[in-house]
Structure formats: C-alpha cells, structure tokens
Amino acid sequence: MKTEPIEIFVASYKGSPEAGYGVYLQMGDNVAEYSGVLGDFTKNQADLISVTMALRCVKFEYRDRPTILHGPSAYAVQTAERGSDGWLVKAKANQELVQDVRESIESFKDIKICRPKKQDQYIKALEAAKACLKPKENN
C-alpha cells in the first residue's frame, strides 16, 4: 500500500503593520487549516516564519511520509533549498529565520519544496492569513 503524501500550502500576508500566515495541510481526505498573527515583520521575514510554522504543524509521527511544501514565495522556496549562503539572505535577522526553516526541514525524511500554482488550497491558506489580521468586532 502506497503512503499518502502530505501536502502543505503556505501563505503569508503583510498587513499594516502586522503580518500573518495561513497553512492548508492535506493528507488524502484529511485536511487541517491553521493561521496566526506573526507581528511586525517584513514580507520576506513573514514568508520564512510562515514556512517554519507550517512545518511545525505536521506531527512528528507523520514526518517520515513523503511531503510536498508549496512555499509562499520564490524567496522562501529558494532560501529554504539553499540556506543562508546565497545573495538572497543579507539581513542577519533573515539568516536566523532561514536557520529555523532549515532545521524544520531536516526533521522530515522526504520533503520537496516548490512554488504553488494558484490552486484552491493555496488560496485558502492566503485567505486564512488575511483573515487573522482583520480587526475583531466589539460586541
């Protein structure tokens, strides 16, 4: 029997001033969505943090399954693949975030990182990222 791959769709959203993230996690028919406010970060920083948060959403017992991470941006995908040794990562704060991403990736046995197409799952992750930044209505 073939093991179902885990697909992770990650999105981040830079509001004013805070950033948020959204994760759409799918394994076969099982789906989970996560989102949260990150704080006052640049878009690149929010992308990197959102990747780390998304990978942490996968329970350790499932990290031996084939996993496909659909990253929030070309920046996040390239830095996740290459680490902080490239021209992409100049700011020291970003280098630390890339290290967090790399450590999270290393906890998976078989992971592929790519840019998403504008698929329904990615759009759901982006909507979740935006929704967590909307002001709460007072009752």
Question: For residues 17-42, b (16+ Cβ closer than 10 Å) or e, as one string?
Answer: eebbbbbbbbbeeeeebbbbebeebe
Domains with residue ranges and CATH for the chain: 6-131 (3.30.420.10)
Whole-structure pTM value = 0.83
pLDDT at residue 130 greater than cutoff 90: no
The residue with greater pLDDT, 85 or 72, is: 72
pLDDT at residue 86 greater than cutoff 60: no
Average pLDDT over residues 58-69: 92
For residue 139, the model assigns a pLDDT of 46
Average pLDDT over residues 37-66: 92
pLDDT at residue 118 greater than cutoff 60: no
